[in-house]
Amino acid sequence: MESAAIIDPPMITPVSLPQQQVTSDSGSADVAPERPHAFAVERLSIFYGEKKAIEDVTLTIPSKMITAIIGPSGCGKSTLLRSLNRMHELVPNTRIEGKVLFAGKDIYAPEVDPVVIRRRIGMVFQKSNPFPTMSIAENVLVGLKLNGVRDRAFLRERLEQSLRMAALWDEVKDDLHKPGISLSGGQQQRLCIARAVAVEPEVLLMDEPASALDPIATAKIEELIHELSSNYTVVIVTHNMQQAGRCSDYTAFLYLGRLIEFASTTKIFTNPSERQTEDYITGRFG
Amino acid sequence: MKNNHLWRKTKSALASAASFVCALLVIAPLALVFLHLLRSGASAVNWSFFTELPKPVGVAGGGMVNAIVGSLELLGLAALVGVPVGVLGGVYLAEYGTVRGNWLLRFVADVLNGVPSIIWGVVVYGLVVLRFKSFSAYAGGLALGFIMIPLIMRTTEEVLLLVPAGYREASLALGISRWKTIVHIVMKTALKGIVTAILLALARVAGETAPLLFTAFGNRFWNHDLSEPIAALPLQIFSYAISPYDDWHRQAWAGALVLVVMIFFVNILVRFLTRERVARVL
């Protein structure tokens, strides 16, 4: 293990706040067109049975940036996030209208296999969920192994690389064979991040990844998200507005299934265009 | 007021005593049966019981080795039928089925669980024994296997549903396909529960006599061909118990004791496994 070539964790480049590039201040998608985007959501509506969870949402999510989705409970922010890698389909009787383009292709086109989509668009959940039957190392590598990767040298290398990316390597390098669930809550969540990055997705979707953690563990996760954004497009759902303010480049504000405003985080938090956004940000409702 | 309080305490004491007596009534038969078996059967449990074939009528001694081995063979055959169908049926119920289809399937499984075991013997008699014109180990294994299917199916379903949805989501979000998620994540997490379901079903059918009467039939000698009749411990106990010979009666008791001890150990094993599972997963 010591002799394995160590791939350095991604360099921490200070993410420049892109407020200068955002010129438009309309209520809907206003990301500067010259910035490459990962997702283009076009007039997306999502139904659970008869209930409409997302209504006519249009926005573009910039590539290799952190986009936060905020809004009060039940506003559809998790649903919107899950629709980006078709995880919301696990609930029976879901239906969508509109399009989600990822790298220019509609992920809901009939010939698209959701399994392939999810391999490219990873997800980290609110509740850390390392597999209880597996060791730390097995947890990290399960996505590769179950997709048929057998090369042991490659797996070993990817194990260390992934754990370093998740800022967990130094804490667990001597305990790789121990059960994943023997770690602390914050470590478990970072293990889940390592597991997600091990399959080299292009995007990481995070559904309130720090909401079950204490402040110190939360700070670590936020720092990690920042580092990850130099390699990945990150979309994070949070109901913690400070968190969105601290660690995102763009923020989408959702209310009752509708996109109220989408702009650079600085703009949303300092000079929102919409009255509802301002009311929510300043804590007048939500 | 004071009297009232006393009366309430008395009522409480009476209720406690009544439930205690009822608990004793539940345990007492097991203890009595076990003690009686020990007293009547222990003397006939000896080395030759486990190593010798039954002796001809009138010759003392002999054993039931063919019935013990026969029972194990029948359980093996039953497992070949009951385990794959039961486990996969449980997987279908827990992971794939629709709400309405599952309701029907569960209902059918629960009705089948209540079907008297002799009915299974008759069914297999009609399906297999009449067609091949011979009692056989296959027929006996099939009858026991049929009994195992709904038992394993329902328990497997329950333990799979205990696996938190978060693990399925985590696996699917890694781009792992549905069936690999089920096999490598969900079933692996619930493995001890599934093994428990299988063991309990085996313990249940190990003592079944009625379904074997028309199928395995019994055999006083070694079975060399599974398409021939085969001995089984419960059948041997039955035929020895209704015989007029004291020596055979003693051996029937011994057989019953061996059977009960075997099932007892399976249950201990199940207890052990389930305790582990609860501690680890839930």
Task: Classify A41 as helix, strand or coil.
Answer: strand
ipTM: 0.84
Residue A9 lies in a domain: no
| Closest to A88 in 3D by CA, of A98, A76, A99 | A76
pLDDT level of residue A106 (50, 70, 90 thresholds) = very high
What does the alpha-carbon distance between residue B245 and residue B85 come to, in Å, rounded to a whole number?
Answer: 43
**Residue A259's CATH number:** 3.40.50.300
* Structure confidence by residue, pLDDT tens digits, A29-66: 444 445 688 999 999 999 999 899 999 999 999 999 99
Q: Which residue has the tokens 């079975």?
A: B223
Contact A194, A163 (CB under 8 A): yes
pLDDT level of residue A21 (50, 70, 90 thresholds) = very low
Mutate to test the interface with B, among A125, A128, A142, A192 (most CBs of B within 10 A): A142
Residue A4 lies in a domain: no
Task: Classify A40 as helix, strand or coil.
Answer: strand
The residue of chain A with its CA nearest to that of B186 is A131
Burial label for A231, CB within 10 Å (0-12, 13-18, 19+), is: middle
Instruction: Show the tokens assigned to B253.
Output: 């008791």
* Structure confidence by residue, pLDDT tens digits, A123-154: 999 999 999 999 999 999 999 999 999 999 99
> Measured between CA atoms, how close is A57 to chain B, in angstroms?
23
Residue environment code for B20-34, b if the CB has 16+ CB neighbours within 10 A, otherwise e: eeeeeeeeeeeeeee
Residue A2 lies in a domain: no
Which residue among A129, A132, A199 places its CB closest to the CB of B175? A199
Across the interface, whether the CB atoms of A115 and B166 are under 8 A apart is answered: no
Contact A179, A135 (CB under 8 A): yes
Contact A236, A68 (CB under 8 A): yes
Which residue among B176, B178, B188 places its CB closest to the CB of A143? B176
Asked if A209 has any chain B CB less than 8 Å from its own CB, the reply is no
Low-confidence ranges of chain B (pLDDT < 50): 277-282
Sheet holding A51-62, edge to edge: A51-62, A37-48, A94-102, A105-106
Residue A1 lies in a domain: no
Q: Which domain holds residue A36?
A: 18-281
Q: What is the pLDDT of residue A286?
A: 60
Which residue among B173, B177, B185 places its CB closest to the CB of A131? B185
Q: Which residues pair with A51 in a beta bridge?
A: A48
Asked if A178 has any chain B CB less than 8 Å from its own CB, the reply is no
Which residue among A116, A133, A199 places its CB closest to the CB of B174? A199
Q: Which residues pair with A62 in a beta bridge?
A: A37
Report the number of distinct structural domains present in chain A: 1
> Measured between CA atoms, how close is A135 to chain B, in angstroms?
13
Residue A172 lies in a domain: yes
Q: Interface of chain B against chain A, CB under 8 Å?
A: 164, 166-178, 180, 184-185, 188-189, 191, 280-281
Q: What is the pLDDT of residue A11?
A: 39
Sign of the alpha-carbon torsion through A216, A82, A76, A253:
positive
Residue A263 φ/ψ, nearest 5 degrees: -160, 180
What does the alpha-carbon distance between residue A93 and residue B28 come to, in Å, rounded to a whole number?
Answer: 53
